[in-house]
Amino acid sequence: MLQTNRAGGVFLLTCLLTGPLLCQSFCFRGLISRPRRSSRPSVLSMSQGHEEEPLGLCMRGSLFHFDFRPFRKHLLGFVSNEECPNALVLVGGLTDGFLGLNYAAPLAESAKGCGFSLVQTNLSSSWNQFGVCTLRSDAQELLLLIRHLRRVRKVQKVVLLGHSTGSQDALSVLKLLHELKEVSGKGGAKAVKQLLGLPNEEQSDNFKVCIEDFGVNGVILQAGLSDREAMLGSEGAEKDGFLRLRDQADKLMKEGKPDELLPERLYGAVPITAYRFSSLIGRKTEDDLFSSDLEDDFLEEIVKPVDVPVFVCHGTADEYAPSQEKLREFTGRFLGVLKRKGISCDSLFVEGQVIRLGAHE
């Protein structure tokens, strides 16, 4: 599966660019659904190929908890095709959650043919909650998900597919996993639990540490872009709003109040801390992993923990890209840094959109 230089992206991108993903709309009947974004009066069934009555975007699968008892935060996963021996974990971007991406349903169908289930997550940062979370907290929760998949569901291979800010999450998982490997032999279970944000009380002493339980076999970075460049590249009132929030965040950070909420909400709806907004709009911050102006030496630090195959995918119609020229140049440098490290990697730029359901997707 992950033996060629195209890593986990081989099966995924073959399926992304062919078959049901070329349909303008789709439906997969099942247990979890949300309203369709399209106002078209009917949908095209993937399985039968004919018009049916309007339905929401639906998927069939199993809903499960994956966080550690008894300190449960009610972290949820949703797995489709759970009979498959391997798992493709779809990590969405800001404001995403279950069915947050239009391509989730046909991706599950395509992955099934390659022996992969599709796992979606509801993290503490899902939907409009990302403003009070960090990439670090996302990585902690995703590693608990991976541990669940391997220990409880006996999954053999785990591939992370990060969409948008989910790409930053995927790299953050590898970074935290690298730290876990370093401390597991020294501090044992206590050190691992601390890195994962778990308490060390007696009740959690049955948390068994086996570093293989957190293993990742490859990552796919789809539409991983710079929030800083997207915000500062906006215009008019939108850009004025971002700059105003940046001033508010800078003030609170200087006052030593990184966890305090900004007076205004991001996009008018999302409560966000001074730290998270500073990270999104700042240079060389926790979130700033894909800005086109980052130097190679900084990229070397970003990819230092990476030890698995990496596949990068972009659509040329992505509205959040600084420019196609800058995006291609940055991607080339990013892959160059990985290759010099000996990491198997490749990329693909799809003319127009990766799928017809949205430019950023």
Cβ atoms of 167 and 290 within 8 Å: the answer is: yes
Q: Provide φ and ψ at 99, rounded to 5°.
A: 55, 30
Predicted pLDDT at 353 = 61
pLDDT over 70 at 77, yes or no: yes
pLDDT over 60 at 3, yes or no: no
CATH topology of domain 9-226+288-350: Rossmann fold (3.40.50)
Do strands 32-34 and 310-315 pair parallel, antiparallel, or not at all (unpaired)?
A: unpaired
3-state secondary structure of 45: strand
Cβ atoms of 309 and 8 within 8 Å: the answer is: yes
Alpha-carbon Rg for the chain in angstroms: 20
Predicted pLDDT at 74 = 84
Q: Quick one: average pLDDT of 252-271? A: 98
- Name the nearest CA neighbour of 192 among 143, 133, 124, 158: 143
Q: How sure is the predictor about 361, in pLDDT bands with cuts at 50, 70 and 90?
A: low
Predicted pLDDT at 31 = 37
Predicted pLDDT at 127 = 96
Q: Quick one: average pLDDT of 248-255? A: 99
Q: Write out pLDDT tens, residues 185-209.
A: 776 788 888 899 887 764 555 667 7
Q: What is the rounded average pLDDT for all residues in the chain?
A: 84
User: Which of the pair, 53 or 140, is modelled with greater confidence?
Assistant: 140
Cβ neighbour number for residue 361 with a 10 Å cutoff? 20
Q: How sure is the predictor about 67, in pLDDT bands with cuts at 50, 70 and 90?
A: confident
Q: Quick one: average pLDDT of 125-130? A: 97
Predicted pLDDT at 204 = 53
Integer Cα distance of 163 and 280 in angstroms? 16
- Name the nearest CA neighbour of 30 among 149, 159, 158, 118: 118
Segment 276-279 long-range contacts (CB within 8 Å, at least 24 positions apart): 276/130, 276/131, 276/132, 276/133, 276/134, 277/131, 277/245, 277/246, 277/248, 277/249, 278/246, 278/249, 278/250, 278/253, 279/134, 279/135
- The domain ranges of the chain are 9-226+288-350
